[in-house]
Structures are given as C-alpha cells and as structure tokens.
Amino acid sequence: MTTTVEHPALAPTTLGGLALRNRYAVAPMTRVSAAPDGTPTGEMADYYTEYARGGFGLVLSEGIYPDTAASQGYFNQPGLARDEHVAGWRVVTAGVRAAGGRMIAQLMHAGAISQGNPHRDHTVGPSAVQPRGEKMPAYGGSGPWAEPRALTTAEIDDVVEGFAAAARRARQAGFDGVEVHAANGYLLDQFLTDYTNRRTDSYGGSVDGRIRLTARVVTAVAEAVPDLVTGVRLSQTKVNDFTYRWPGGRDDAEVIFAAVAEAGAGYLHIASEGRNWLETAKLSDGETITALARKVTGLPVIANGGMHDLAQAHEVLTGGHADVLSIGHGALANPDLPARVAASEPLQEFDRAMVSPTVTVANARRWRESRQA
C-alpha cells in the first residue's frame, strides 16, 4: 500500500484574516502592459486569471501607482488613481475570484527610481541623492537616474493620502487586500535606506525615523480599508543595489518589523529581489530574517526567492520561517504550479526569453505560442 504526502504549501491558511486555499502566492511582477493612461487591459485580466485557474491561492498584483503626481515608475504601469483604473481592475479581480483565487493590490510609489512618468518631468525622494546604478532597459529605461528633488513635509502628507485614496479605490475594484510596497528601492525604501535618506527631520536619522513614513502609510491604508487585509512588503536588497543590507542588522530588523506591526499591518512580505531566499534571508547569527519577522510581530509572513524549489519551500514552511510562499519566475514558467505540485508533475524551467526584450504580458504570450507551434 502506498500513500501520498501532500506538500505543506498545498495546505489552506489565512493571511491577516483572508482565507486562502493554499500557501502559494504569485509574487508582484511589473509587466508594463497597461494602457498608456494606466488602465488595466483585457490581456492583463487573462494573465492574472490564469494563475488562479492554475491553483494559486493568492495573486499579488504588480506595483500599482497610487496618484498622478510623482508616484508612477514606468510607462504603461497600471494605476489606481482614477475611476477608469478602478473599472479596469474590477474585470481583473472578478476573473481571479471566479477561478477560486484571492487578489491583493500592491501600491507602489517609485520615488527617485521612476523612469517613466507622464505626469511629472522630475523625480522625488527623501533627499537629493542620485540613485545608484542605471535605469532598466527591460522596463523601457536607459542611462543614469536623475537626482531627485527632496520631498517637503507637506508633500510627504500628500504621499500618505495618495496611498489611502488608492486603497479605497482598491476596495471599489474588488481587491481582497492592499500591500504597501516598502521594498526593492522604491520611495518608502528610499526613506528607510541610510545612504538615500539624509534628512534631519523626524523622517531621517536613526532607523526609528527612517521607518516612520512606511509606518504612517500602513496606518493610513489600514484605517482607509479596515475591512480588507493590509500588508507591507520589505526587503534589504533593491532593484538598483543587490548588495545592500540594513546597517544595524538584527537590531534594525526588529525595529522595522515592530514599527509596521504596530502601525496596523496584517502580514509582512519579505522580498529577496530575484535572488534565492537563502542569499538574503540569513542574519549574522544564523537566524533567517523571515523567522525573525514572525517572532517579533506574531503576524503571518510571506517569503520570496526561489520558492518554486519544492525542498526549500518545504523547509521554509515546516521550519517556522514563513507561512506563505510568493513565487515569481517559477510562476511565469508554471502558471499552474500548485496544480502541478498536487499532481506530482514536473515543473518547467524559467526561460529569460519570456521577459525579453521587455517584460510585457504580450511578450510572454508570444513566447508560449512559439513553444506550442
């Protein structure tokens, strides 16, 4: 007699009160496939629905810009700043829900690393510090980043309100939750990062000051949509700096995690910027940053980075490191990944040609069609 032991990722769970059919989540992946005005398209609805149809319990949207000031990061990035955006996203969320999934809107202000914003001809940040690295060709950019203009305190208030207003639109659009994007080098992370934040007011200085804006945004979102789950995405690494780590190590991490939990977060999502979880998760004392986040906050934690690897995913879930797994490249290659795991079917390898020369949904579709021909 033989028995089949299901992978722990297939077990149901809850995320900040949101019931999920399993622990597999589609990671936020910028696709620059919206209409020029930021309205989601029918092709985007098909793209997101395919993941829910393939068994993913949770679908996290790509970064959505919340306002028509300085938040947009890329041309053809979707927004939640206007009524047209709400209507477009409503089609997307309806498709995901009809296929048995749940969907969370990730709200993102690009700040100093905006490389495509038709609303402004300048960028903003915590301080007038030019970002490291160069713009990303796969997202339509080239050359060095511009030096941003430092935000005033009044403009910071506008940023907070922009997130709250977009959260209310997310509810109208049928999302099940809102994730505050405070990772990967975007605006909120720029405030948290010591070398991009040289402010001398209450938003700068120590880690307690540098996390203040993120905490304010989390509170504003949680209060704007108390009936939805509010999460926050954090990372040490960035799209323009893969080597950065929080300078205070574990001490900084504890302050950061406690601050967002106290601010009203219902879960934490720890990103690894396209790298394997183990490369970015280990602290100097050997504990993982995701396990520390669970310990400090008592909240569910989403881990990211190579979670399509079944052995690693098993260890992350059973070893107390995280509660949910977010998958990027593995999901692109296997939009039916949970169904494949349940059926013990092999997974397809990710092919970078899927996101070349740009990361659009259309390019991925053409890649699949070429493979099927």
The first and second tokens of residue 156, run together, are 């910071």
pLDDT reported for residue 1: 35
Q: Which positions are annotated as active-site residues?
A: 186
pLDDT reported for residue 373: 65
Place of tokens 């205070």: 248
Strands 124-125 and 24-26: what pairing?
unpaired
Burial class (CB in 10 A: 0-12, 13-18, 19+), 277: buried
Encode the chain in three state secondary structure: CCCCCCCHHHCCEEECCEEECCCEEECCCCCCCCCCCCCCCHHHHHHHHHHHHCCCCEEEEEEEECCCCCCCCCCCCCECCCHHHHHHHHHHHHHHHHCCCEEEEEECCCHHHCCCCCCCCCCEECCCCCCCCECCHHHCCCCECCCCEECCHHHHHHHHHHHHHHHHHHHHCCCCEEEEEEEECCHHHHHHCCCCCCCCCCCCCCHHHHCHHHHHHHHHHHHHCCCCEEEEEEEEEECCECCCCCCCHHHHHHHHHHHHHHHCCCEEEECCCCCCHHHHHECCCCCEHHHHHHHHHCCCEEEECCCCCHHHHHHHHHCCCCCEEEECHHHHHCCCHHHHHHCCCCCCCCCHHHHCCCCCHHHHHHHHHHHHC
C-alpha distance from residue 143 to each of 115, 118, 119, 132, 239 (Å): 10, 18, 20, 11, 15
Residues 6+ apart with CB under 8 A from 270: 233, 234, 235, 281, 289, 290, 293, 301, 302, 303, 304, 322
Long-range CB pairs of 47-50 (<8 Å, 24+ gap) are 47/361, 47/364, 48/92, 48/95, 48/96, 48/103, 49/92, 49/95, 49/96, 49/98, 49/99, 50/335
Left if phi > 0, otherwise alpha if psi is -120 to 50, otherwise beta: which for 125?
A: beta
- Top-level class of domain 8-372: alpha beta
Q: Per-residue pLDDT tens for 216-228?
A: 999 999 999 999 9
Q: Which residues of the chain have pLDDT under 50?
A: 1-3
In angstroms, the CA 228 to CA 232 distance is 13
